[in-house]
Amino acid sequence: MENLLKKAFDPKQFRKDGYALIDLLADFLQNASEDPSEKVFKWQSPDQAYLNWENRLQNDMVGSSSQLFQQVLAEAIQLQNPNYMGHQISPPVPISALAGLVGDFLNNGMGIYEMGIPGTAIERVVIKVVAKVMGFAEDAEGILTSGGSLANLTALLSARSKKTQKNIWEEGKSGQLALMVSEEAHYCVDRAVRIMGWGKEGIIKVPVNEQYQMRTELLEEYYQKAKEEEKEVIAVVGSACSTSTGAFDNLEAIGAFCNKHQLWFHVDGAHGGSMAFSGKYRHLLKGVQQADSVVMDFHKVLMTPAISTALIFKNPEDSYQTFSQKAHYLWNKGETQEWFNLAKRTFECTKVMIGLKAYSIIQIYGLELFDEYVTKMVDLSKSFADTILQHPSFELALLPECNIVCFRFFDSNLSNDTLNELNNHLRQAVIEEGNFYLVKTTLKDKVWLRTTFANPFTKEVNFKTLLNQIEVHANLKSKDYQTVKPLNF
């Protein structure tokens, strides 16, 4: 047994495995980004994938760590491939993946200061960078945490603590609390409301306009109605942007409304908070600095490995209210501002060194890298949208504000139901073929194909080829629909 432990921790073997791994990853990066014959995706059924991996373990079929990692690389979706245009996550800047390795290797616990001295300090530096870029004052505080969903819940717990008179933290009871949010918001806001025990009555969904932005002119009406129903509305959540369409709510209007009624203003910028780093597109976040709290994922549009999420509080005190009713009752005065014992403010107790991933990019390449990337991804999305507008076989759902584009194959001879079925089929056909990866969404009664541009090397030729491939699949399939009568003509 002792020998086995010795073997597992042998520095010589680690050095050898490490060099071999870096070679594998560098080859992967080169092939995925430069070899046009590489597939972005190799479809396997979930059961088949499970059986394969179980079989390999049972029969000891994977000999070395190199073989193991090689097999994982061969089966994984390639974010590094310029034909990756699917869910909202970006290929990490390679140096930040190495930062992740350092964090995993050190395994500093981070919950309390001495268990993560560099990680704790780095985290605060990263928080201050985000806060500054978003236009907050110097005293803004925050945390890094495990994802936008958890960060939104964390922010809303602080909102609850600050805005209700009842001591829910101690007594566990409240009246009917509620928040208002666009009907297009990410599902995690709904989930956070239910986790907090407010039930479905606790989420008031405000309709969106044609551009899928919250109709802020309806806030007053919905607020008054909620009050008549004896709900205590404590917060409004702005989406920056919403996930399906990439639409940005009018944050200035929401901020003014919250100010008028003394409500907590939270911005879910998990995806679009990154626009703050683009000189050209930061205007999308106008008004964000009025927010009491803002969430931003580094792993969505800032080329940082998951899971790296920043949660910023405008008022530093609020950062300490999440897990208490009133922070200053619990701690001595001097202790309240104890920024360095992170577990007091985060869900995580043992916490990984999240900050080093983003910090390494900022230190080595500067914020200019984020600016260049974010701007390029949005520019590319706009040029994709232009191409679709000019294409007779495709329809655009809305003009994109950021790097998310929703479109569909369109034929005026087909009913909406048939078009929905056809577009569902097209998405499946494309991913099974494996040359491209894209997703789909439903807006009102229409199924749309959805792309998020995230690979820094995606070019016009990539999206034009995608459209060609979709058209080929559509023509093959359209034979099935010839009996369909035109509906609208």
Binding residues for ligand PLP, rule: CB under 6 A, are 88, 147-149, 186, 188, 239, 243, 268, 270-271, 297, 309
**Residue number of the CB atom closest to ligand PLP:** 148
3-class secondary-structure state, position 453: coil
Query: How many angstroms separate the CA atoms of 380 and 175, rounded?
Result: 48
Q: Quick one: 187 or 489, whose CB is closer to ligand PLP?
A: 187
Please report how close the Cβ of residue 229 comes to ligand PLP at its closest, in angstroms. 27
Q: Shortest approach of ligand PLP to residue 182 CB, angstroms?
A: 10
Name which of 120 and 149 has its Cβ closer to ligand PLP. 149
Rounded to a whole number of angstroms, the minimum distance from the CB of residue 151 to ligand PLP is 7
* Smaller CB separation from ligand PLP, 266 or 282: 266
Under 8 Å between Cβ of 96 and 360: yes
CB of residue 372 vs ligand PLP: minimum separation in angstroms?
Answer: 22
Shortest Cβ distance from residue 419 to ligand PLP (Å)?
A: 26
- CA gap 251, 240 in Å, rounded: 8
Beta sheet of 177-182, edge-to-edge order:
141-145, 309-313, 293-297, 264-268, 232-239, 177-182, 203-206
What is the smallest separation between the CB atom of 207 and ligand PLP, expressed in angstroms?
18
3-state secondary structure of 137: coil
Comparing CB distances to ligand PLP, the nearer of 202 and 246 is 246
Compare residues 264 and 298 and give the one whose CB is closer to ligand PLP.
Answer: 298
Cβ distance to ligand PLP smaller for residue 186 or 282: 186
| Residue among 76, 29, 32 nearest 53 (CA) | 76
Tell me the C-alpha distance between 310 and 356, whole Å.
13
Smallest separation (angstroms) from ligand PLP to the CB of 59: 36
Taking alpha carbons only, the member of 349, 310, 388 closest to residue 132 is 310
171's CB contacts (< 8 A; 6+ apart) are: none
Amino acid in position 126: V
Considering the complex, state which of residue 28 and residue 202 has its C-beta at the smaller distance from ligand PLP: 202
Q: What CA–CA distance (Å, rounded) separates 269 from 312? A: 11
In order, the DSSP letters of 210-277 are: TTS-B-GGGHHHHHHHHHHTT-EEEEEEEEBS-TTT-PBP-HHHHHHHHHHHT-EEEEE-TTGGGGGG
Identify whether 203 is preceded by a cis peptide bond (ω within 30 of 0).
no
Closest to ligand PLP by CB, 304 vs 420, is 304
The minimum distance between CB 117 and ligand PLP, in angstroms, equals 27
Q: Residue 167 CB: number of other CB atoms within 10 A?
A: 15
